[in-house]
Every structure is written in structure tokens, then in C-alpha cells.
Structure 1
Amino acid sequence: MDDCLGSVLDLLKKTNQEQNTLFMWAPDHGSQWPHERQNVYDGALKMPFIARWPGKIKPGTKTDALCSLVDILPTFIDAAGGNVDELVTKCGGQDFDGKSVLPILLGQKSEHHKAVYGVVSYGPIEAYPMRSIRTKKFQYIWNIDSHFQYPSNWTMEGLPAFESMNKLWKSWEEKAKTDAFAAERIRAEKYRPPEELYDIQQDPYEMKNLADDPSYQDVLAAMRQKLKTWMKQQGDNGDNAYHAEINPEDPFFEKVFCRQKIVNIKVDMIWNNPGERTNVRLTSPVWIAKIHYTLDGSEPTKDSPLYTKPFTVKPRITIKAKGFWDGDETPTRELKYWGPTPTHIYEQMHLKPIFWP
């Protein structure tokens, strides 16, 4: 990265454009760690921003003004002598989301936005829509589908691209067995509440969620309303960019977490055992769901046995399972186990996203 920046600056010097060029640099996200990248916490959204304009911007200038990447375009227009309002009018009247930060860079102002916003949606594999609003004092996060487990790349197994990340994650899980703080960080990464509120000034690493604190309910309501107002202005209904069609024939999708209201039935062979017994594991992306199952082919209900841990069965049996939570439920999943196969693993996966209001 340093070499690339140096090459650009060298080119400006060679072409005698250095003194006449506003140079700005920023990454596309913050640190690449759990609770940071692919989230809307400060660790993901707060990132370095460098601006250089010899003779215009005073070297060593720093600011804590709230700025966003949407401010870059109007800043360049402003720096080039253009009029943003006139340009907007000529282009149809649609206002820019951002505004020029040139007055901040030139030391003419110390404040910019009163709040900035964060958005994460992703596609059908890592779908976990989040929205946030950040002021200088507070950060409010809306986890739109909080009943799903967060599909972190760190927890994915069997994919070479995430091998090093998963190895590190497993070391954290091991530490969590004896360390209460580590256990809480693991839980917080995987299982998100519907709303999160943090006092950034007192809690810069966002460890203490104030959303349920009675003394912060007015702040929570105000931040929630501001976020909803902004989303409406953006045409964002909170359900975009992650209901895409996917190819169920692609084996890649058999290895990854998928955001769906389902129950998975996994059957693992136990070697060297009489009667070809097998372990049965029931899982669901809906982490708050209670999974009930039957072994006689009947439809599972809330009165059926509750799944709490893996159990063993013998061949020639029909396993049915269903998840229940908050008045909602998954479709019934069925697996007929007649004995071992060459793979010794059965897994019924529903790969096409389910559409719901």
C-alpha cells in the first residue's frame, strides 16, 4: 500500500501537479477482526482518512468531525471550484447524501455531520442486515434479523480462504472454556440482540450494551427514530441485497452458513459399533429456535422431545425436526436413515432462500 501511495505522489511531482491536487486516501473498512470488519461497530466504520493539498491544508491538521465516504464526491467538486447545489439542480435535483468536508480540511469549521450512518446487508450466504447511526456521543445499532446467528467468516470451517481465521477463532473458543470474558465475547459475536446502544465516549470498544438500561430509553428512542427517518429517506426497507437466487447444484453452498428459517439434520456414522448406530445432530441458523423432533414419522410439535444434545439411532428410522420461536416456526425437515453410505454423512440442506414479509 505504501508503494502504491508513493507511486501516485511521485507521478504528481513528475507532472507538476502536486501543488494543484487535493489528494485523499481512505480504506474501505476498519480492522479485520471479530466485532469489527463486516459489522457496523466503530471498529468497522471508524477508519483512517488522510487528505493532502500543499499550500491549502495545513500539515499535521487533525479533526474529530464526523465525516463519511459519501462526502468525498462533493468535496472534490467543491475543491475544483464547482457549485454542488447548481450541479444537483442540473442533474435532476437529487441531493447528494454527503457534503463537502473542505471547510473542515481548511480549518474553517470544526464540526461537520451531527450523525453518520452504517449499512451491512451482504448476499444470501452471509446475509445479516444491520443498520446504525453514530453521533459523537452514542452509537445505535439495529440488528434486523437478530433471531439468526451472525454468520461470521471466523467461524466457517472447511473453506481454505477462512482457514487461518477459523484456527484463531477456535483458540478463542478454547480460552472461553475457562475465561468468562472470552466466553462473553464469543457469545456477543455470534448472538446479537435486536438493538444495541453504546456510549462511545465512556465505552469506546462497545462492550456494554445500554439498550435495556432504563436510564437510556429516551436516547434509545431518539436514535431509533433518527435511523428510521434516514432509512426512509434512502429508500431502505431493511430487506435489500440479500434475497438473491443461488444455485443449489453448487457444492460450495453446502459448506457455508446460509440465512434461512430451517432445521438441518446431520447424521454421522459411529465406526465399529453393533447395529450400525449413528449420531444425530440438529441445528438451525435461527439460534433462538427450540428444536423438537420425532423418530416415528409423526409431525413434530412443541410437545415432541426437545433437542438438547446429539443422540444415537439405529438404521431404518425416519427423523423429523422442526424449530419453534416467538410464535414462528421452521418447515418440518425429514430424513430417512436406512444405513451407512460411502460418505457416512447425511445432511438435508435447504439452499434456496425463503422469502417472507
Structure 2
Amino acid sequence: MSRQVSRLVVITLLILPAFAFAESPAPARPNILWLISEDTGPDLACYGEPAVKTPNLDALAARGMRFTRAFTVTGVCSTSRSSFMTGMYAVTIDAQNHRSHRGKPDTDNPLPDGVRLLTHWLKDAGYFTANLRHFTTEQDPKWMHGTGKTDWNFSYPGKDFDTKNDITQLPKNQPFYAQINFSETHRGGDWNAADKRVAEPVDPAKVRIPPYYPNHPVVRADWAQYLDAVQALDMQVGVVLRRLDELKLADNTIIIYIGDHGRAMPRGKQWPYDSGLHIPFILYIPDKLQVQGYTPGKVSDRIIESIDLTATTLALAGVEKPVKMQGKVFLGPNAEAPRQYAFGFRDRGDETVDRIRSVRDARFRYLRNFYPERPFLQLNRYKESSYPIITVMRYLHEQGKLTGPPLALMAPTRPAEELYDIVNDPYEINNLARDPEYIEDLSRLRGVLNQWIEDVDDQGRYPEPPEVTDHWEQVMHRNYDKSGRRAAARAKVIEQIKATEK
């Protein structure tokens, strides 16, 4: 072979791979679908709740990954959603007060520089974004729909989503990021009708209620209604999964299911205990989209914060995590080290001014009450009107019949610090903060929390001005007292209580 021919062969061999690479189609980017249920603890059958049947979410967990230590960073919708839609702690971006920066007297709270909606990052990367309200076929019941809920405590430029309509309007030649928000587990119309929509309503006599509630028929009935709402939610999820199959989207769609925070119950929603922050989290990635760190069928005890879903969603879409984003990537080649701690917080909720900070590791939860002089059950008109259990507890307390752990919730003050051994005390009943045996754990977690408050520049350190808190006091007084809603709700529950005493 001549020298010229040899050189030609070598050059050809060098060039061919480049042409082959250039001509190969780039792998299709995945669609990503978030399924978000409101006010939902890990109360699915796959999480060990024996009273419910949740076959659709159970099957999704069996095919995907189920996480047992997933936590939202705050226990109420607007602050939680403000966090996971930005990948930032709400306390960092001054969005920590529930029902803030909307309406009078404060109308504007722009996000800090470098902080954006998850959907804006994804749109820049070529994704179509959707907050879907409709996904049923004509054969499905009309009540199966998404709410389109956003509920953020900040303002932002531009559109939040490209569309808020039907799942069939998603483009065929563009990857999408979509959310579907479910209201079944939020108190209201869907919740109230849940027992009539499910095939096998939960028997109140068979439910397991937390020991910080009185074992009363009205309490058990309310808890059973919540579990029926969980079953109704599962039916909704089943419709969505079937529609993905019908539209031939399932093979290229990553599914993330989470609750936006814990149960709508006393000591649950709005409180930074496990009952308010511990959420179900199921992740499903189709076979052709597998990534490092994902194992189908695995149950993971890795600590996950809700803001980590934001960072990881970007990673799954091939988008580099923004510099300021506080969420951590937990899958793929850029996965970060696992968290040792999950942090949580509570600030003003409606008219109820409070400030609690919390940190949890694999065994302990530590809480700091910055207003220990205030009662645990501070007046919150929404809760007083919506949670029958509160009325039951107040009624029994007035009768001198409230004892044990439920009685502690009626105390006029709170401890400045709380420490619970979650492994041995999962309901967080026995406060170990003054137990000498746990002084090292108390000191360690106190230090971790103090450092976190500094690191995230916790805006809760700066109280809201009186005109803001007074505004929300007036709003809630008008909506629940002047309207008669609170009095009517209390009268209805007391009637139910007395019916059980006959």
C-alpha cells in the first residue's frame, strides 16, 4: 500500500466517527410530570397504612422508587409551594408568611436576583410548561380534574406556565414539564364527598389515630374521611396514568408524586413536626431514561427536602443547577452528597403570628419555639372552622374530660425547645429537651439549626409590620366571625359530639 493511500485510510478512519456522531439524532429529552396532592401525609398502603387501598400509587412505587424520609420545608401550601417552585427556602426569599404579599396592604414581593420559577428555567431550556386542569376522557367522571393551583407568596415576570388547560394540548415535538394538582385531600367539597366516591369507605372503628388526639367517635370519623380522601386521590392518579398510556407518553415521561405538606389536622398542617412536614414521595423513571442513583423497586431512606425535587428536575432535563438554588441534586452524574438534616419552619399563618424552626436527622427532631409564651392552639379561625378535632378537644377540655397527650395541646404556653426521638417516639410525644441523657443530641441539633438560620439568611428574624398582621386579623375576623362561619361550624361539631353521648 502506498504512503498516500495509507494516509488516506487513516484520515478516513478518523473522520468517520465524527460524521457518525454528527448524524446520530440526539437522545430525546424526557417529559417530566409532577403530581401534587394537597395536605397529604405518607398515608398510602405502600407506606404501611392498613386502612386504605391505593393501588395506583402502590403500583407506581413498585415500578419506581419510594422515599421514606421526604420532607417539605414548611407545612402550609403557599410557603411550601413558594419553596419547591423556586428550589429555595421560603425564609430566604421572604415568602415564609402564609398569605403574604397578595392584596392590600402589600402587593409586590419580587424574587431576588438569580432566583426564578422552575418553569422559567425549563422554558429557557426548550421545555413546554403546563399546569394541567383537565385530563379525563368523556367516559371518566367530570370530578376528575386538576386545580391548577399555584399559591405563591411572590411576584414574578412573565407567564408562569405556557398553558393551564388539557393534557391533549401538550405539543408532540417538544419536551414538556407539567404539573397536576389534586384537591381531594384538601378540606372542602372533594374531601367531604370522598366517602361517597370510593368503593370501600374506611371504617372509623378501624383507623389508627395519633395519641395526641382524644379517642372519640367524631375524631375517628374525621380521620376516616381523610383516609377516604387519600383513596379518592389514588383514583385520580389512576386516571392520569391511563391517559399517559392512551396518549403514548408513558415511555418518555418521568413521574414525580409528592404531597405539598402534611395532613390538614391539628398538629399537622402548618406545624413543623413530622405530621406537618413528612410527605409521600414516589419517583418513576421509564426504562429507557434510567439515570445514575435510580433503582426501580427500591425503597430509599435518603433524606430529601422538597426543594431538592426542583434541582433534580432540572438535572433530569439536562439543565445545570442555578448557582443560588438551595435544593440539592440527588440523581444523575451531578448528584450531590446526601443530606444529613432536613429543616423546617413555621411563621405567620393567616392571622396567627408564630415562629418555629426545626431540624431533623435520621433519628431526632429538634424544634425551637421563638414565642413560647403563646399557646399551642393559638386562635386560627380557619382551623377552628375546618378541623372538627379542635372543637372536640376544646369541648372535652371544658368538660374536664381531656387527659393524657391531648391535654398537653391545650397548655397556655409551650417549651422553648423540643427534642423527640423519632425512632422510639414516632408521634413526637415525649419531649427530651430537658433529659440529661440527650444533652449532646440537643446541643448538636441546636447548633446545626442556629447555623442554618444564619446560612439561609432567615427573613423570619424580622417581624412583619403591624399594618400587615392587623390586615390579616381583620380579613379572618370578617371571613369567619362576622360571617358566622366559625360559630356555625362549632355548633355542628358539638351536635355531633352530643349525638355520640346519647
What's the TM-score, normalizing by structure 1? Answer: 0.58
- Per-residue deviation, 1:203: 1.5
The structure in which a higher percent of residues are strand is: 1
CA drift of 1:160 comes to 7.9
Question: 1:140 deviation in Å?
Answer: 0.7
Asked if 1:60 corresponds to 2:297, the answer is yes
| Mapped contact 2:265–2:387 kept (Cα < 8 A) | no
Q: Structure 1's 206 and 163: CA in aligned 2 closer, same or farther, altered over 3 A? A: closer
* Local SS of the residue matching 2:437: helix
Query: Match of 2:143?
Result: none
Q: What is the aligned partner in structure 1 of residue 277 from structure 2?
A: 45
Other-structure match for 2:407: 183
Offset from partner CA, 1:96-120 (integer Å, 9 cap, x none): 21112326xx9x99x8210010011
Residue 173 (structure 1) aligns with: 397
Structure 1: runs of 5+ lacking an equivalent: 258-357
Correspondent of 1:198 among 416, 420, 441: 420
Q: Number of aligned pairs?
A: 242
Contact 1:141–1:195, Cα closer than 8 Å, also in 2: yes
Residues 125, 256 of structure 1: 8 Å contact kept: no
Greater fraction of residues in helix: 2
CA distance 1:76–1:237, shift in 2 (3 Å): closer
The structure 1 residue matched to 2:345, chosen from 100, 104, 119, is: 119
Q: Secondary structure at the match of 1:229?
A: helix
- Structure-2 change in CA distance of 1:28 and 1:124 (3 Å): closer
List per-residue Cα deviations over 1:236-291 (Å, max 9, x = no partner).
Answer: 1533575425349948438989xxxxxxxxxxxxxxxxxxxxxxxxxxxxxxxxxx
The change in CA–CA distance for 1:254 and 1:5 in structure 2 (over 3 A counts) is closer
Corresponding residue of 2:146: none
Cα 1:245–1:180 change in 2 (3 A) is closer
**1:236 corresponds to which residue?**
458
Find the counterpart in structure 1 of residue 326 from structure 2. Answer: 97
Q: 1:52 to 1:34 in 2, by over 3 A?
A: same
Partner of 1:348: none
Structure 2: gaps of 5 or more residues: 1-232, 482-502
Identical-residue share of aligned pairs (%): 27
**Superposition deviation, residue 61 in structure 1:** 2.0
Letter in 2 for 1:35: R
Root-mean-square deviation (CA, aligned residues, Å) is: 3.5
Contact 2:376/2:409 (8 A) holds in 1: no
Q: Matched residues in 2 for 1:33 and 1:50: separation?
A: 23
> AA paired with 1:131?
R
The answer for the alignment partner of 2:367 in structure 1 is 141
CA contact (8 A) 2:270 2:346 kept: yes
Residues 232/167 of structure 1: CA separation in 2 closer, same or farther (3 Å cut): same
Partner of 2:39: none
Change (3 A) 1:138 1:17: same
Determine if the alignment matches structure 1 residue 71 to structure 2 residue 71. Answer: no
Hey, what's the Cα distance between the residues in 1 that align with 2:367 and 2:376?
Answer: 14
Partner of 1:212: 434
Give the SS at the match of 1:246. helix
Distance 1:203 1:165 in 2: 22
| Mapped partners of 2:472, 2:362: distance in 1 | 45
Higher RCO, 1 vs 2 (CA within 8 Å, ≥6 residues apart): 2
- Aligned counterparts of 2:387 and 2:264: Cα–Cα separation in 1: 15
CA contact (8 A) 1:196 1:210 kept: yes
User: 1:156-171 residue pairs with structure 2 within 5 A?
Assistant: 161-162=385-386, 164-171=388-395
CA distance in 1 between partners of 2:390 and 2:301 (Å): 35
Scaled by the length of structure 2, the TM-score of the pair is 0.43
Q: State the partner residue of 1:83.
A: 320
State whether residues 122 and 241 of structure 1, in contact with CA within 8 Å, keep that contact through their aligned partners in structure 2: no
The CA distance in 1 between the partners of 2:429 and 2:384, in whole Å, is 31
